[in-house]
Chains A and B, each alone.
Chain A
Amino acid sequence: MADSKTKTKLDLKPVFFGKKEKKLLLDPLNDNNPITVQVLGICSALAVTTLATKALTMAIAVTLVVGFSNLLTSLLRKLIPNEVRMIAQLIIIATLVTVVSLTLQAINYPMYKELSVFIGLIITNCIVMGRLEAFAMANDPWTSFLDGIGNGLGYGVILLIIASIRELLGKGALFGFKIFGPGSDFLINTQSFSLLHWYAPNNLMVLFPSAMFVLGVIIWLHRTWNSKLIDAS
């Protein structure tokens, strides 16, 4: 991958990380977030957000896949015949997803077991296909790569926020560290405070519908906070 990167840097002689590039990387985090603004990739945002570690792994996997499939598609964009461009993009995505899946299987098998089908389903994640079609087919490799990484990060940030809320309220834990709940293995044992005897982790937060509520609230807050997103109509 190293030489393709240097090659792409040469393509853009004047600046390779100027204002435009910075915007590409940071825009998806806020103004053009793939989940809350473009509303893409919702399926996996609901499915893998029960635990923060799961969400983090998924976020890294998606970021790598979007980044490198954008890079490869952009490198091949002048060679890909127009009639089969979707198929060509799919082959690139599928290859990268399988590479990620095989790697995860080798480095963290229990996590691979946990995520199982969802890693494979990155192939159908609309964010990946969307970025390839909308950006990589028309832009040079370096900016495409940045755009991919940016969108992956934007997806990851929302995923982590949802997962943290769900894990904290549903299991009283964060990244597996038990923080508050009834029982002596939690950092704050609610049983030992007479006012908190009633507390029990809310199992609804572990179930899928809660992800829908949390995501809805996040979209609402995001739109209220960011004035650019308010629809003129």
Chain B
Amino acid sequence: MQKYRYTIIFVLILSATSALILAGMYTGLKDIHEKNALLFKKRVILEAVSPLLDKPVSSLSDEEVEQIFQKNINQEVLDMNGQVVDASKVAAAGYKKGDALSLDMAKEFKKPEDKRLLPLFIYKKGDKEYYITGVIGRGLWDLIWAYVTLDSDKNTIAGIAFEHIGETPGLGAEIKDNPSFGKQFIGKKIHDEQGKYHSITVRKGGAKDPVFEVDAISGATLTSDGVTEMLQRSMKYYDPFFNKSK
């Protein structure tokens, strides 16, 4: 035991110093990290309305992003029955701020389907309102999610922004990296004229239906299928809310 005393003391001191430095740094930078993460999320959401903005999201300054969110965007949290959930109840579900922005879609995705909370951002431009919905699903390696903007008719897609955790660069990651993939969605519709639910299908080998289908990414079949599954399953969640206000 005597022999190892120095070794043990040395390792303990080294670990303690390391832990102290890291804990201090983590606590000190926590506010900045949270602010950055929130700003990053806001930029992704704005990407979904980028066809409606004056300039590309990447050239907007941080202040401009905040300004758009303050002036033009209303946030709502919905439950699966299409009811607006008030902030105190959202806060009780674990999101302190109680707004749609603080909602963690990945966490909601793990809940049983009827208990999930849905984010909804209403973007106002002139006297028109656009609805930004949030959908989440699985890609090939990990979660993928998207913000889908619906035009004021609550049916036509006006913009879309994809995000993913670990899809392969050059293949699955193209859903985010290749702007022409997202552009295909603009003008597509969720329901047909009779009100029947179609949502969007990502079709391998080229879209056959001009209204409800888009082309898949070659070499990324599983990610493309994941996008289809996500859009088929999740756009329906918003139907109760939209039907009520139609």
What residues make up the interface of A, taking CB atoms closer than 8 Å to B?
A: 50, 79-81, 83-84, 87-88, 91-92, 94-95, 98-99, 102-103, 105-106, 109-110, 113, 170, 203-204, 206-207
The complex places the Cα of A28 from the Cα of B18 at a distance, in Å, of 29
Q: Are A88 and B14 closer than 8 Å at their CB atoms?
A: yes
Which listed residue, B22, B33, B168, touches A106 by the CB 8 Å rule? Answer: B33
- Provide the residues of chain B in CB contact with A113, threshold 8 Å: 40
- Provide the residues of chain A in CB contact with B7, threshold 8 Å: 81, 83-84
Q: A99-B25, A207-B169 are in contact. Are A81 and B40 (CB under 8 A)?
A: no
User: Told that A84-B7, A88-B14, A206-B170 touch, could you supply 6 new A-B pairs with CB distance under 8 A?
Assistant: A83-B7, A98-B22, A102-B22, A105-B36, A106-B36, A207-B170
Q: Are B10 and A84 closer than 8 Å at their CB atoms?
A: yes
Nearest B residue to A203, CB-CB: B170
- Provide the residues of chain B in CB contact with A81, threshold 8 Å: 6-7, 10
What distance in Å separates the Cβ of A177 from its nearest Cβ neighbour in chain B?
Answer: 13
The complex places the Cα of A107 from the Cα of B193 at a distance, in Å, of 49
Nearest B residue to A171, CB-CB: B177
Q: Does B32 contact A (CB under 8 A)?
A: yes
- Provide the residues of chain B in CB contact with A206, threshold 8 Å: 169-170
What residues make up the interface of B, taking CB atoms closer than 8 Å to A?
A: 6-7, 10-11, 14-15, 18, 21-22, 25-26, 29, 32-33, 36-37, 39-40, 168-171
Q: A88-B14, A106-B32, A106-B36 are in contact. Are A95 and B170 (CB under 8 A)?
A: no
Q: Which 8 A-B pairs have the closest CB atoms?
A: A206-B170, A109-B36, A81-B7, A95-B18, A207-B170, A106-B32, A106-B29, A50-B169
The B contact surface, by secondary structure, is helix
Nearest B residue to A109, CB-CB: B36
Q: A79-B10, A207-B170 are in contact. Are A95 and B22 (CB under 8 A)?
A: yes
- Residue pairs across A and B with Cβ atoms less than 8 A apart, 15 shown, are A50-B169, A80-B10, A81-B7, A84-B10, A88-B11, A92-B18, A95-B18, A102-B33, A106-B32, A106-B33, A106-B36, A109-B36, A109-B37, A109-B40, A207-B170
The complex places the Cα of A87 from the Cα of B155 at a distance, in Å, of 59
The complex places the Cα of A105 from the Cα of B39 at a distance, in Å, of 13
The complex places the Cα of A81 from the Cα of B9 at a distance, in Å, of 10
Q: Are B21 and A95 closer than 8 Å at their CB atoms?
A: yes
- Provide the residues of chain A in CB contact with B6, threshold 8 Å: 81
The complex places the Cα of A105 from the Cα of B31 at a distance, in Å, of 11
Nearest B residue to A88, CB-CB: B14
The complex places the Cα of A81 from the Cα of B13 at a distance, in Å, of 13
Q: Are B29 and A87 closer than 8 Å at their CB atoms?
A: no
What distance in Å separates the Cβ of B106 from its nearest Cβ neighbour in chain A?
Answer: 14
What distance in Å separates the Cβ of A132 from its nearest Cβ neighbour in chain B?
Answer: 14
The complex places the Cα of A141 from the Cα of B38 at a distance, in Å, of 41
- Provide the residues of chain A in CB contact with B18, threshold 8 Å: 91-92, 94-95
Q: Are B15 and A91 closer than 8 Å at their CB atoms?
A: yes
What distance in Å separates the Cβ of A52 from its nearest Cβ neighbour in chain B?
Answer: 14
Nearest B residue to A108, CB-CB: B36
- Provide the residues of chain A in CB contact with B14, threshold 8 Å: 88, 91-92
Nearest A residue to B22, CB-CB: A98
The complex places the Cα of A37 from the Cα of B215 at a distance, in Å, of 45
The complex places the Cα of A87 from the Cα of B14 at a distance, in Å, of 10
What distance in Å separates the Cβ of B28 from its nearest Cβ neighbour in chain A?
Answer: 9
What distance in Å separates the Cβ of A89 from its nearest Cβ neighbour in chain B?
Answer: 10
What distance in Å separates the Cβ of A168 from its nearest Cβ neighbour in chain B?
Answer: 15
- Provide the residues of chain A in CB contact with B29, threshold 8 Å: 102-103, 105-106
Q: Are B36 and A84 closer than 8 Å at their CB atoms?
A: no
Nearest B residue to A205, CB-CB: B170
What distance in Å separates the Cβ of A125 from its nearest Cβ neighbour in chain B?
Answer: 19
The complex places the Cα of A88 from the Cα of B17 at a distance, in Å, of 12
- Provide the residues of chain B in CB contact with A87, threshold 8 Å: 11
- Provide the residues of chain B in CB contact with A83, threshold 8 Å: 7
Which listed residue, B15, B33, B168, touches A105 by the CB 8 Å rule? Answer: B33
